[in-house]
């Protein structure tokens, strides 16, 4: 791999913009991020003419795209979905399971692992048409029955040791979700901690006390804030009075907790995005796509989860709708989420990019390799125009698009 220099970029650093920046790349890694100087450049160089240069996005919660759902369970489907997200600027992806039988979830893990080897681990990329795939997000099946949302309810269950051992033994689960109130959640969190996962609670109607014991077992993150999550009012029918604090209060009050938002402009109103940014902050808040297979597809009816046995939803081209009137995940890529945060919140561009890059990289233990424009990190980069539309995507120092 040859050395390459990107010149006259507006580099989006974690806390600031570096105007007229020069970024040198060698052997697939960033070697220098410096102000442009008059000195001649020896290596091949590309003039970005002031365009934004950012680290590639890191998506920790994503179900599919371009017609494929990771739960389809084939390498071809996983490849299709991953490739679609790379086009939207995601250079590191954690394919996400949903509810379904053990065999389907196992098939999904194996299919994704197969293509992850083709994608390479950045330092030795074999196929740059794929994002890096460090592992999967085991999201379903351990959801609370009353918080399944658009996921197939018949495919949910309580965590059982022999089953979840079967997933963790793959060594490929990097993020692990379980609703905190389920019987067996403690044992699940223990196994997830032993496997080195980011442990998260989602699709849950957990109380403060249940969140507290989950936290003691290593849980540190909550999936898609405000979606399929307990609130003071949702706990009242379950636990009566006095009214009790819920997941929302637990995340806001506990500095060690992180969470994520689906900033597609359809799930959360602008004031909620602004609230999340200001109250939780860019170092504890991730942007996720939570995208379904309907990403980059025309409006119509689709399956969430496996293409035959998943649940039905309808995409209107902006968001997915579940039959009961609820939402069924986003149909947008991470570049869209960045544009919505830019439009709907007071967050600065470096903060918005950080929520889509360095923060999720740090939470998944990858910040030493990816997530910011710093020497030594992999040259997984994106070039954005003034409106944050993707112009180019680079994997390991090579342009993909
Ligand atoms: Zn969900
Ligand atoms: Zn999801």
Residue 303 Cα to ligand 2 midpoint, Å, equals 13
What Å distances lie between residue 8 and 36, 40, 226, 373, 390, CA to CA?
A: 7, 13, 41, 15, 17
- Alpha helices by DSSP H, listed for 22-101, are 75-87
Residue 329 Cα to ligand 2 midpoint, Å, equals 6
Region 244-264: what's the mean pLDDT? 98
pLDDT in tens, 196-220: 999 999 999 999 999 999 999 999 9
pLDDT-based confidence at residue 122 (cuts at 50, 70, 90): low
Q: Which ligand is nearest to the CA of 156?
A: 1
Residue 7 Cα to ligand 2 midpoint, Å, equals 38
User: Model-level pTM?
Assistant: 0.97
Beta strands at 381-384 and 390-395: parallel, antiparallel or unpaired: antiparallel
> Which of 145, 143, 183, 157 shows the shortest CA–CA distance to 102?
157
Residue 262 Cα to ligand 2 midpoint, Å, equals 9
Residue 120 Cα to ligand 1 midpoint, Å, equals 28
Q: Which ligand is nearest to the CA of 71?
A: 2
Residue 45 Cα to ligand 1 midpoint, Å, equals 43
Q: 383, 51 in Cβ contact below 8 A?
A: yes
Instruction: Please tell me the predicted confidence (pLDDT) of residue 150.
Output: 86
Q: 266, 330 in Cβ contact below 8 A?
A: yes
Sign of CA dihedral 348, 230, 108, 369: positive
Letter string b/e over residues 144-182, b meaning 16 or more CB atoms within 10 A of that residue's CB = bebbbbbbbeebbbbbeeebbeebbebebbbbbbbbbbb
Instruction: Please tell me the predicted confidence (pLDDT) of residue 118.
Output: 84
Distance (Å, rounded) from C-alpha 160 to C-alpha 284?
30
pLDDT in tens, 75-121: 999 999 999 999 999 999 999 999 999 999 999 999 999 999 988 76
- Protein residues placing their CB within 5 Å of the ion ligand 2: 290
Beta strands at 17-26 and 4-12: parallel, antiparallel or unpaired: antiparallel
Q: In the chain, pLDDT over 70 holds for what percent of residues? A: 98
Residue 8 Cα to ligand 2 midpoint, Å, equals 38
Region 28-55: what's the mean pLDDT? 90
> Which of 343, 272, 260, 208 shows the shortest CA–CA distance to 57?
260
Distance (Å, rounded) from C-alpha 341 to C-alpha 344?
5
Distance (Å, rounded) from C-alpha 392 to C-alpha 57?
13
Tell me the three state secondary structure of residue 214: helix
Instruction: Answer whether residue 236 shows pLDDT above 60.
Output: yes
Instruction: Please tell me the predicted confidence (pLDDT) of residue 27.
Output: 93
Instruction: Please tell me the predicted confidence (pLDDT) of residue 152.
Output: 86
> Domain 56-367 belongs to what architecture?
Alpha-Beta Barrel (3.20)
Q: Which ligand is nearest to the CA of 203?
A: 1
Q: From the CB of residue 283, how many other CB atoms can be counted at a distance below 10 Å?
A: 16
Residue 228 Cα to ligand 1 midpoint, Å, equals 7
Tell me the three state secondary structure of residue 154: helix
Bridge-partner residues for 70, per DSSP?
A: none
Q: From the CB of residue 20, how many other CB atoms can be counted at a distance below 10 Å?
A: 14
> Dmax over Cα atoms in the chain, in whole Å?
72
Instruction: Answer whether residue 38 shows pLDDT above 80.
Output: no
Domains of the chain, by residue range, sit at 56-367
Residue 74 Cα to ligand 1 midpoint, Å, equals 22
Residue 223 Cα to ligand 1 midpoint, Å, equals 7
Q: Which helix (H) or strand (E) holds 175?
A: strand 173-177
The set of residues, in sequence order, having a beta carbon less than 8 Å from that of 333 and lying 6+ positions away, is: 65, 84, 85, 87, 88, 89, 90, 289, 291, 295, 296
Instruction: Answer whether residue 366 shows pLDDT above 80.
Output: yes
Residue 290 Cα to ligand 2 midpoint, Å, equals 5
Task: Tell me which DSSP letter residue 56 carries.
Answer: P
pLDDT in tens, 70-82: 999 999 999 999 9
Region 54-81: what's the mean pLDDT? 98
Residue 124 Cα to ligand 2 midpoint, Å, equals 30
The overall average pLDDT reported for the chain is 96
């Amino acid at each position: 791999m040859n050395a390459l220099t990107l010149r006259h970029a507006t580099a989006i650093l974690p806390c600031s913009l570096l105007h007229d920046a020069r970024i040198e790349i060698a052997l697939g890694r960033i070697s220098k991020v410096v102000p442009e100087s008059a000195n001649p450049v020896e290596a091949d160089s590309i003039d970005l003419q002031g365009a934004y240069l950012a680290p590639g996005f890191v998506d920790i919660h994503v179900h599919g795209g371009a017609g494929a759902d990771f739960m389809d369970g084939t390498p071809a489907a996983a490849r299709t979905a991953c490739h679609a997200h790379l086009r939207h600027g995601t250079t590191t992806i954690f394919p996400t399971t949903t509810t379904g039988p053990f065999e389907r979830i196992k098939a999904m893990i194996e299919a994704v692992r197969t293509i992850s080897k083709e994608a390479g681990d950045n330092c030795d990329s074999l196929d740059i048409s794929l994002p890096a795939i460090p592992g999967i997000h085991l999201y379903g099946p351990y959801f609370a029955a009353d918080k399944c949302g658009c996921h197939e309810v018949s495919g949910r269950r309580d965590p059982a040791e022999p089953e979840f051992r079967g997933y963790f033994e793959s060594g490929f689960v990097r993020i692990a979700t379980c609703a905190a109130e389920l019987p067996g959640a403690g044992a699940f969190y223990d196994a997830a901690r032993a496997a080195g996962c980011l442990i998260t609670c989602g699709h849950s109607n957990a109380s403060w006390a249940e969140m507290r014991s989950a936290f003691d077992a290593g849980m540190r993150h909550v999936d898609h804030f405000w979606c399929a999550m307990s609130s003071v009012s949702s706990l009242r029918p379950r636990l009566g009075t006095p009214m009790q604090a819920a997941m929302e209060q637990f995340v806001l009050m506990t500095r060690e907790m992180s969470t994520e938002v689906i900033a597609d402009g359809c799930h959360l109103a602008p004031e909620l995005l602004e609230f999340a940014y200001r109250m939780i902050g860019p170092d504890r808040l991730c942007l996720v796509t939570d995208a379904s297979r309907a990403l980059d597809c025309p409006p119509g009816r689709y399956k969430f989860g496996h293409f035959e046995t998943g649940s039905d939803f309808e995409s209107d081209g902006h968001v997915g709708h579940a039959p009961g009137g609820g939402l069924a995940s986003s149909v947008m890529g991470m570049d869209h989420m960045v544009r919505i945060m830019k439009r709907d919140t007071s967050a600065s561009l470096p903060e918005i990019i950080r929520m889509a890059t360095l923060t999720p990289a740090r939470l998944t233990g990858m910040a030493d390799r990816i997530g910011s424009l710093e020497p030594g990190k992999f040259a997984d980069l994106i070039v954005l125009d003034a409106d944050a539309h993707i112009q180019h995507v680079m994997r390991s120092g090579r342009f993909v698009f």
